[in-house]
Structure 1
Amino acid sequence: MPAHPHVMPTPPVLTEAERDLARWEDDGGPTAEPCPRPQAGQWLRIAAALSERLPELTGREDVLVTCEEHTRSGAPAAFFPTLACLEIDRALFAPLHPVTIDPTRSGDEERYPVAWGAFTHEAAHAAHSRWTTPPPLRGTALDAAAQLLEESRAEGAHLSRRPADRRFLRAAVHTLVLGDFTSQTPTDRWQAAAAAGLILARRDAGILDEDETEVLENTVTHILGKDLLATLARIWRAAHATADEDAQGMLAHAEAWCQALGADPAGPEPAPDPTGRRGELAEAIGKVIGAVAANEAAQAAAQARVEAARTARRQAKAAQAAHARQAAKTAEKVFAPGGRPHTPGKPVKGQRGRSPVTGTRPPRAAEKAAAGQLARALRAAAYRERTTTVTPSMAPPGRLNMRQALARDAQQAAGATPTATPWMRTVHRPSPTPPLRVGIAVDVSGSMSLAAAPIASAAWILAKAAALTDPDSRSATVAYDRSLTAITAPGRAPTRVSEFDASGMGHSLAEAIDALEAGVDLTRPGTGRLLVIASDGYYHPDEALHAAGRIAALRQAGCAVLWLAFDPDPHPLPGATLLHLTDPAQAAAAIGQAATAALATVQP
């Protein structure tokens, strides 16, 4: 049975120092000043904090908690009902420094689960151990058996109120149980029954799992026999169902326990068998403790992964929201009335962006034809097949299913209520073609000077084609070098072709994508979304990295990305569909085919 009882029904014996103090006060002497010890004040603070937390575990306001170097019962933690006092050994908080311990802080107990588990165990006794063994029977085998059964009963009753405390009780199993069994504990019937009553009973109370207790169950079955172990299991399960104040019931269970093991209930606890093997029970219990620790570690790792994933999702949402706000600000500056170029980043004194637009011209006949052809291709790319729904029915219209019709006739002939559905009704519903959202980013840096004319033509063809597909479709065009210049604002169809002077420095493609993303809602579902980038891809690594991140985010959001290249050796960024062009007016079919393929790979 437990070497150090947790619940002491009688007041603890006074220490020698307490006796001296009492004699001194009886003689009229002044109250002795306690000898100050290092960190004593911190442990008083921790004890006060635990006293403050205890009512939420017990529902009692009268219990005082103290933190001692050693509890007066010798157990890691102990509860004294007559004094309404709960003691806990300071060593359970190791290796934490007491300055860092603050039980009043929510979640602080996660840092010392063993100490909190022992504290929870004693709190369970304070809340549910409301009976005591009559004084004449204390120290008997009956008393020992009753206290043994009370261990798992109190924890089970506590879990019924606070199931979340299970992990702390599990963390403290090593402290609460293993110390009672050593390498010198004999493997006799009484000790084997005690091990079963402390471990297997906790399994039935919901604290431990079956896979964790299997080794000990095999060991005690070998010692006690299957029938005796089953009898003991019935006793502890009956004890679990006993009320907190039912002293007679608990003593009856204890008496049945003693009788099952052949012990005199009124006599002393059976002495250890000197001929019994030693250490077998401690070894089996050690394996139980190891299995519990392994399962708890696996559970903690899984919980940590869940928390990490949850934190990552929160951070991703926060970053996405911040990016959306920044993109909206960029779009507001780029598409502001007046058409002034916007240079991202901190403004430099005396430096202003220069517009690459040198003038406009009317579109050529070939460009108009290419825009119309591309509009038809984009419309086809955004088309969605109609949905078909087949519904069984008891009555026409619909197609007759002969098997169901014969089943219906059979049901009617038998006098049963017909449930067969002989008619199959097919309904075709058209799926609305989603409008298009097209963002066009054209590179006007110095490396694109030879492609300035094709860029202008391609940009107009794409913007005009998007406007022709659907009245609700929207497009916008931005020219970028270091600065961003709006060529066409969102929702405005271009009537003339804007010509460019490609002689700028730098590449603010990432910011251009931000402006287009916010300007035409390239991340909003329910539309066919397409980003078109006209560039050779010769960027600084940092520029390419930022732009590639924006492209990846758009792709994940369901936006297709098309890369138009006029250079013989382009360097498109990852995630974009590459299309080589020479004369955009003659390549409308190729643009349409590439756009169709790009749109088909994403969901609207």
Structure 2
Amino acid sequence: MPAQTQAHVQHQPLAVSESEWAQARWEDDGGPPFEPSPAHQASQWLRVSAALTHRLPELAGREDVIVTCEPGTRSGAPAAFYPTTATLEIDAALFDPVKAATINPRWPGDEERYPVAWGALVHEAAHAAHSLWATPPQLRDTALDSAAALLEESRAEGAHLARRPADRRFLRACAHTLILADINAQTPSDRWQASHAAGLVLARRDAGILDPDETEPLEQTVTGILGPDLLNTLTAIWTAAHATDDDDGPGMLEHARAWCQALGTEPAGPEPTGGGRPGELAEAIGKVVEQVQANEAAQAAAQAQAAAARTARAQAKAAAAAHARQAAQTADRVFAHSTRPFTPGKPDGSPGRSPVTGTRPPTGAEKSAAGQLARALRAAAYRERITTATASAAPPGRLNMRQALARDAQRAAGATPTATPWVRTEHRPSPTPPLRVGIAVDVSGSMGAAADPISSAAWILAKATALTDPDSRTATVAYNRSLTAITAPGRTPTHVTRFKARGVGHSLAEAIDALSAGLALTQPGAGRLLVIASDGLYARAEAARASVRVTALNKAGCAVLWLAFAPDPRPLPGTILLELTDPARATAAIAKAATAALTAAR
């Protein structure tokens, strides 16, 4: 196929089409002005051409180029640039299967729907921006002209990528269009055509458009035809061409002349023809195109997966923020009025019936149990001292004889002593963090027999937490379908709150939300523990919603202890189960479980 029919830079003016000749003859004969047919008026390609012209300045850096897009091109190439008339043409077929009526390049991002066509536009824009030289007219259609045009292909794309590296994926998307337009199944595998294929593909590899693993099949083929030495010579020529300035026409012609001489071709003569088995180069280039497409598909899949992951993270973050706001609102409603129930999900909160029936002074056994548990909780929250060893060249510290001998040897040899024979050990106290203990008490009807032990256990836990540290805080919430604050965050209970377990339903999830927001159980900086006193006899939906909160607390480093006062409890996953009968007599068990939970959650 003649080289000039496929050149991407056309130095001859546009050929006049048959329709233009007919229109000119009609007007010369005095006919009325040309009126497009309805079918032509309905065509969208004129609108697409105007939109592409509007976008071209951002690609080419110049505003004088007019883009025409219609089925077929006058040059015969998929796309071409005409420097003499500042005109760029692109074949409408490159937009397939996207319909013309839906194409709107004026919208940034619309090009993602037709990357092949946009890649062809980017390629011609690269010529418009960087191909600022031309072969002298007397050398047109010669081997020198063909070699210069070949070297200009990868040089212009490389220069374009230096300005707009993000356009690389579009150039890769249309690589098969730009390359297979010059190499097809009828192309012979002689030395000239093999060098042409190398200049189209391997030079694009060195310009940064293609990857080495993609061009390997063609590299093996052309190496077998040209030999490694000649291929290395050609590689040096296109590498030098890549470093040539945009307007250095003599330099590019000199590279083209060296190309012809390396192949034993007369520069001023025509291109060599014939020889070699046809199809071999096209087959190798086909493998290159397949690998490029596979790599692009893998990259697109990876980007889609990353985008989906970013979207999922953003959605999770938004959901977490919304849940935190809802939890804060729940905490405000629950702790705003002591002993006044709040029913989640009701417009007015539906106060309902309070389970609190009164208070009583703690017994001596309960006070003793609270003191013992406070000591155990302090031990659980205790942090060992931080030990730091520092080596130095001078006292104080402990003498390290090995380092001392090394220092003497360095000094005897006339070298600057670098050994550090003195080691000083410092022990710094690590502050023991305060405790945050949330207590959720089940007061549904199934817990009627355990109401008294639960009230006692809740007071012991709350009092013990308050005794550990002045900054420690605790809160207790009783829950069935409604939530009732027994003690608000930061308030130390002086009396044991008594209540009746006669409610229905279980709003444990909302109880956990209120305690988490009120005590900051998901925030680091304190020893955090959630204690749930319940038999676990919940509906499936209630248990599922509460399990989500327990899992979130575990991930945040908050331990969850489950106290059961009835046989056959059903604790939620992620909790530490402790079965009790008399909490005053089971202080050691509570202390051991709480200590283990706090230690595991550090």
Output the TM-score relative to the length of structure 2. Answer: 0.97
Cα RMSD (Å) of the superposition? 1.5
Deviation readout 1:477-498 (Å, 9 max, x if unpaired)? 0000000000000000100000
Distance 2:253 2:459 in 1: 94
Distance 1:334 1:348 in 2: 13
Contact 2:338 2:487 in 1 (8 A): no
Distance 1:479 1:39 in 2: 76
Aligned to 2:455: 456
Alignment of 1:166-565 (within 5 A): 166-273=168-275, 276-347=276-347, 352-565=351-564
Shift of 1:403: 2.2
Deviation readout 1:487-545 (Å, 9 max, x if unpaired)? 00000010000011100010000000110011111011111111110011111111111
Deviation readout 1:351-379 (Å, 9 max, x if unpaired)? 54111001100001111111111111111
Extract unaligned runs of 5+ from structure 2. Answer: none
Deviation readout 1:41-95 (Å, 9 max, x if unpaired)? 5333322222222111111011112211112112221111112111122221221
Alignment of 1:63-212 (within 5 A): 63-212=65-214
What letter is aligned with 1:594?
A: A
Shift of 1:442: 0.4
Contact 1:39 1:98 in 2 (8 A): no
Deviation readout 1:283-305 (Å, 9 max, x if unpaired)? 10011111111111111222222
Cα gap change, 1:38/1:484 in structure 2, threshold over 3 Å: closer, same or farther? farther
Cα gap change, 1:108/1:389 in structure 2, threshold over 3 Å: closer, same or farther? farther
Cα gap change, 1:499/1:159 in structure 2, threshold over 3 Å: closer, same or farther? same
Shift of 1:181: 1.8
1:532 is paired with a residue of what secondary structure? strand
Moved more, 85-94 or 222-231: 85-94
1:585 is paired with a residue of what secondary structure? coil
What letter is aligned with 1:525?
A: P
1:37 is paired with a residue of what secondary structure? helix
What letter is aligned with 1:387?
A: I
Alignment match of 1:50 (pick from 33, 49, 52)? 52
What letter is aligned with 2:306?
A: V
Distance 1:237 1:439 in 2: 71
Deviation readout 1:255-276 (Å, 9 max, x if unpaired)? 1111111111111111222xx2
Cα gap change, 1:99/1:583 in structure 2, threshold over 3 Å: closer, same or farther? farther
Shift of 1:161: 1.0
Counterpart check, 1:586 vs 2:591: no
Aligned to 2:63: 61
2:6 is paired with a residue of what secondary structure? coil
Contact 1:255 1:265 in 2 (8 A): yes
Deviation readout 1:370-403 (Å, 9 max, x if unpaired)? 1111111111111112222222211111222222
Distance 1:44 1:421 in 2: 81
Contact 2:341 2:484 in 1 (8 A): yes
Contact 2:8 2:124 in 1 (8 A): yes
What letter is aligned with 2:585?
A: Q
What letter is aligned with 2:590?
A: I
Cα gap change, 1:338/1:459 in structure 2, threshold over 3 Å: closer, same or farther? closer
Distance 1:334 1:514 in 2: 10
Distance 2:49 2:466 in 1: 74
Aligned to 2:35: 33
Distance 1:512 1:341 in 2: 12
Shift of 1:414: 2.8
Shift of 1:97: 2.3
Distance 2:340 2:71 in 1: 76
Deviation readout 1:301-341 (Å, 9 max, x if unpaired)? 22222222221111111111111100000000000035321
Contact 2:338 2:484 in 1 (8 A): no
Distance 1:139 1:368 in 2: 105
1:524 is paired with a residue of what secondary structure? coil
Cα gap change, 1:335/1:175 in structure 2, threshold over 3 Å: closer, same or farther? same
Cα gap change, 1:395/1:84 in structure 2, threshold over 3 Å: closer, same or farther? same
Cα gap change, 1:440/1:157 in structure 2, threshold over 3 Å: closer, same or farther? same
Moved more, 294-303 or 250-259: 294-303
Cα gap change, 1:123/1:554 in structure 2, threshold over 3 Å: closer, same or farther? same
Distance 1:441 1:208 in 2: 63
What letter is aligned with 2:530?
A: L
Shift of 1:10: 1.2
Distance 1:265 1:249 in 2: 15
Distance 2:207 2:375 in 1: 71
Distance 1:363 1:225 in 2: 98
Equivalenced residues, count: 600
Contact 1:561 1:577 in 2 (8 A): yes
Shift of 1:173: 0.6
Distance 2:441 2:295 in 1: 58
Distance 2:556 2:49 in 1: 54
Contact 1:395 1:423 in 2 (8 A): yes
Moved more, 33-42 or 327-336: 33-42
Cα gap change, 1:393/1:26 in structure 2, threshold over 3 Å: closer, same or farther? farther
Distance 2:540 2:313 in 1: 28
1:426 is paired with a residue of what secondary structure? strand
Contact 1:148 1:198 in 2 (8 A): yes
% of aligned pairs identical?
74
What letter is aligned with 1:216?
A: L
Distance 1:346 1:90 in 2: 61
Extract unaligned runs of 5+ from structure 1. Answer: none
Shift of 1:40: 4.8
